[in-house]
Structure 1
Amino acid sequence: MFVEPANIREQIIRYTPGNTLDFSTHGFQRMAIQLFGSMGHGKSSLVNSCVCVAKDEEYQNLAGAGMTQGGLTKQRKEYELTNTLVIIDNRGFSKMKPQETTEACAQIRSLRDFGKVSWKKDNLKETLKQFPLKYQNRPADFILPVLVYSANQDWSPSEGDDIQQFITHAFRITGIHPVVVITQCGAQNFDAIKWKFGELGATKRLWVENYTENDYTRTEEKDQKILEFLHVCIQEAERAIRMRKNQDIQTRFVTQAVEQIKLDTDLLRKELEGPSPAPDRRWCSPS
């Protein structure tokens, strides 16, 4: 159903977590749109576009998009859209392997601080450090994961497997699939990529054309797509919050922290064991 941009912007301005629901005991004060994706796929450009359109102001390159080849962002940093809605830029994945996915899960579980992001760290040590700190001062943000993917990229089978793992983990943590944003939608393989994400279980697949340093003139069509993206994020956050209606806040946080510790421990065990040896086929019977 088409909604006028002015109406969507008004809903965004007035939004607070849970305000479309019939209860107010969920404990969230803000909704944080957390961006994930490989380097150079348009996360920082999406941040700039959302700030520009949500606030209805001139374009600014606040997140430093496009300043280096392959992605500049090295840290998690939030940008305010409203008092109760923020968007979080993030360091891009380099390979989207278990080390990076595990760290991303800790971010979604609110077990990481803002600042410099390293995808190659001692995940378990950091989680054990953050757990008591966050328990004493429980984060009041609902984190909605968003996966940004450029249609200019070639999709490989191994990459599809890695993305599937990320989507599965994000669903287990939040109860909803991450919102997928496809950039560079004029690329030839756009339709194929959108279809592949659908095969992986992503139910919310949107496309946007970001404003950039070279193309920052506001248009109604681009504004509409950005506003639709923010509107979908709000709807998905509200749906996830509703599912937590009868859950104790502290109990859920502890449960999520324990799940993260298990994930970190499993990753550490695999790293210590090293790659599995190739099977010895000397005594195998010929087929």
Structure 2
Amino acid sequence: MDIKQLKDNIRNFSLDDGDLGSQGYTQVLLQLFGFTGHGKSSFINSCKYVLEDVENFIEYAEARETPEGCTMKRNAYPLTELITIVDNRGCSKLKHFERAEVYAQLGNFIPIGQEVVWRGNYQPVMEDLVNAESEPNFTDFIVPIFMYNARQQIKEKEMEEVKTFLNNCMEMTGVFPIIVLTFKTNADYMELEKQFRLMGAETVIAIENYTPGSHIKTLGRTTEILMVIDSALRNVRFRMEQPRDPRRERIERKKFLLNYIHQISLHHEREKIENEKREQDTKGEDKSWKCPIL
């Protein structure tokens, strides 16, 4: 598919194209997520750049390659009247509570523009869920897009953890995350693509983002960026061929998140009890060691 066809597919996309119509959805939300510094903000700038047919590169989303990342809150950027791309805050590691925060972002339970803070307990996430009920948003069709820096290989011991994370994102949204490998020209991304395929990924696309220092448009780079958006829309079209209930799906996302929070809370409570028991056992051993022999 050439660039013109890809652009036409994106610009002319309609939620009413299928036999069942929009079924209550009003827009497609491309939810970017992943680790900090893996190119989410740069990808947004690249998408805007290739779709707007402009020669001047504009940095809509602040993008800096730092361990902490630049994005501290959920920011939305319209690509067309029906397609919005969201820059969610990246996480440093896939810790349990950070995952809960990511799921809350993916599930649209944190309002656009709200600051995202990584917290060490479940209570704040629960509060976000309660606050989200004041203005429930169930009309966005969510497509998860997982951004990953191709220069950072996934260790074998981490694969099962990442696989579970991606499967949970599919449970949340009904769409398996599209995997976008960034910095493709600076790494051997083919082995990484194979790893994601083994985790169940259906779509893996390696790209090189446009940046202020590298913004001369090329055929290959532009095509690959457009292919990510087009792949997301093909997922939407496929899912819209089946009967959908946006209100019910939002409820199911909330159930999933509540259950996840409950499970990690139990897990941490068990760990706490086990640690306390080990400490007591250690102290007991120390005391018996110090007792004089009579």
TM-score range, shorter chain: 0.7 to 0.9
Structure 1 moving runs of 4+ over 6 Å: none
* Amino acid in structure 1 at the alignment position of 2:81: N
1:73 paired residue number: 71
1:284 paired residue number: none
Answering whether residue 24 of structure 2 is matched by residue 42 of structure 1, we say no
1:141 paired residue number: 140
Give the alignment of 1:85-164 within 5 angstroms: 85-114=83-112, 115-120=114-119, 122-131=121-130, 133-134=132-133, 137-164=136-163
Answering whether residue 26 of structure 2 is matched by residue 24 of structure 1, we say no
1:182 paired residue number: 181
**Which moves more between the two structures, 93-102 or 196-205?**
93-102
User: Contact between 1:179 and 1:203, CA under 8 Å: does it hold in 2?
Assistant: yes
Secondary structure (helix, strand or coil) at the match of 1:24 reads: coil
Note the aligned Cα RMSD (angstroms): 2.4
Q: Deviations over 1:258-280 (max 9, x none)?
A: 22111112222223333574899
TM-aligned CA distance change 1:14 to 1:131, over 3 Å: farther
* Amino acid in structure 1 at the alignment position of 2:74: R
Secondary structure (helix, strand or coil) at the match of 1:194 reads: helix
Secondary structure (helix, strand or coil) at the match of 1:116 reads: coil
User: Contact between 1:103 and 1:123, CA under 8 Å: does it hold in 2?
Assistant: no
* Amino acid in structure 1 at the alignment position of 2:118: W
TM-aligned CA distance change 1:41 to 1:137, over 3 Å: closer
* Amino acid in structure 2 at the alignment position of 1:110: N
User: Contact between 1:30 and 1:86, CA under 8 Å: does it hold in 2?
Assistant: yes
User: Contact between 2:109 and 2:132, CA under 8 Å: does it hold in 1?
Assistant: no
1:63 paired residue number: 61
Q: Which runs of 5+ in 1 are unaligned?
A: 281-287
**Which moves more between the two structures, 197-206 or 262-271?**
262-271
Q: Deviations over 1:107-146 (max 9, x none)?
A: 2222221221123254454345534744754332111111
Work out which of the residue numbers 268, 272, 275 in structure 2 matches 1:271: 268
User: How high is the sequence identity, in percent, across the aligned residues?
Assistant: 24
Deviation at 1:186, TM superposition (A): 2.2
User: Contact between 1:64 and 1:72, CA under 8 Å: does it hold in 2?
Assistant: yes
Q: Output the TM-score relative to the length of structure 2.
A: 0.85
User: Contact between 1:74 and 1:116, CA under 8 Å: does it hold in 2?
Assistant: yes
User: Contact between 2:6 and 2:230, CA under 8 Å: does it hold in 1?
Assistant: yes
TM-aligned CA distance change 1:128 to 1:248, over 3 Å: farther
Deviation at 1:217, TM superposition (A): 1.3
Secondary structure (helix, strand or coil) at the match of 2:208 reads: coil
Aligned equivalents of 1:89 and 1:248: distance in 2? 26
Deviation at 1:27, TM superposition (A): 1.2
More helix by share: 2
TM-aligned CA distance change 1:182 to 1:228, over 3 Å: same
* Amino acid in structure 2 at the alignment position of 1:167: L
TM-aligned CA distance change 1:110 to 1:130, over 3 Å: same
TM-aligned CA distance change 1:276 to 1:238, over 3 Å: farther
Q: Output the TM-score relative to the length of structure 1.
A: 0.87
1:11 paired residue number: 9
Q: Which runs of 5+ in 2 are unaligned?
A: 279-294
* Amino acid in structure 2 at the alignment position of 1:35: L
Q: Deviations over 1:23-44 (max 9, x none)?
A: 1252111101111111111111
Aligned equivalents of 2:227 and 2:251: distance in 1? 34
User: Contact between 1:127 and 1:260, CA under 8 Å: does it hold in 2?
Assistant: no
